[in-house]
Chain A
């Protein structure tokens, strides 16, 4: 089972993702460069946080045109699991692989703080191993994380179970004062219609070891590992 971590010029959480997948979870990881034409060999892709291409134009906009994105699009189209974290989420939005857009935080401040997230959907490979309503704690670190979708699109996302995470308080109640950026409907993460592409603003890779204060983030990676392993068993291919 191999993970591919996509590295753009300006990505800065790629090594953290590699560390968690390889060092903490013992998986094989390829670092895939923005200019690579292929993601061949990867069973799941992670688009990490950072400031890809300096966030010029809009966060994620230039990265969405990078050569590797054609391969990411093809991989996602074939049902491969793709997780965009923070800036990686912004890239997936700009690439049209996820619905919606990001605006500047309501506060205009860069927000770097621990938040609580409520699991809203388990239909994605990254949340299949979680419980509905489960509350996770992990940090956010962003200036443009205010999720936006026009009202009709937002209603459609609710109806189609595409809202994956919501900001909430420690008891699991979504609330304005638990929402770090002013996101519409307290949305912290969404998925595509098929459910295999997921984006979230909080950083699971920064909450995957006890020494960092939370291991809740690891659950997302363990979930996709379990899904891929089950898929392999079903195909009778050794993992």
Chain B
């Protein structure tokens, strides 16, 4: 088995209200040069070594993310 990491965030252009609130908190703590903040979800999925990338894409598209509002990045865990 191997572990696949998936990061899901709202698409650019869709207002990330949670990201804005986090940015506001950082600003309040004095981190005034922080730019855009995006809040998303992180998943680690254990799959067989030889799982085809298309299958991971399909999992994201069909279920793990909502393609209407979200985008995702897939990478291997270290």
A residues whose Cβ falls under 8 Å from a Cβ of B: 57-58, 61, 65, 94, 100-101, 103-108, 148-150
Contacts and interface: CB of A to CB of B under 8 A. Distances in A.
B66 interface: yes
Contacts of B66: 58, 61, 94, 101
B64 A101 contact: no
B44 to A, nearest CB: 14
B17 A105 contact: yes
Given A101-B69, A103-B69, A148-B69, A57 B64 contact: yes
A148 B16 CA distance: 13
B14 to A, nearest CB: 7
Sorting the interface of chain B by its residue count into under 10, 10 to 19, 20 to 34 or 35 or more gives: 10 to 19
Contact of B63 (A65, A100, A108): A65
B69 A108 contact: no
Contacts of B68: 100-101, 148-150
A104 B69 CA distance: 12
A103 B68 CA distance: 11
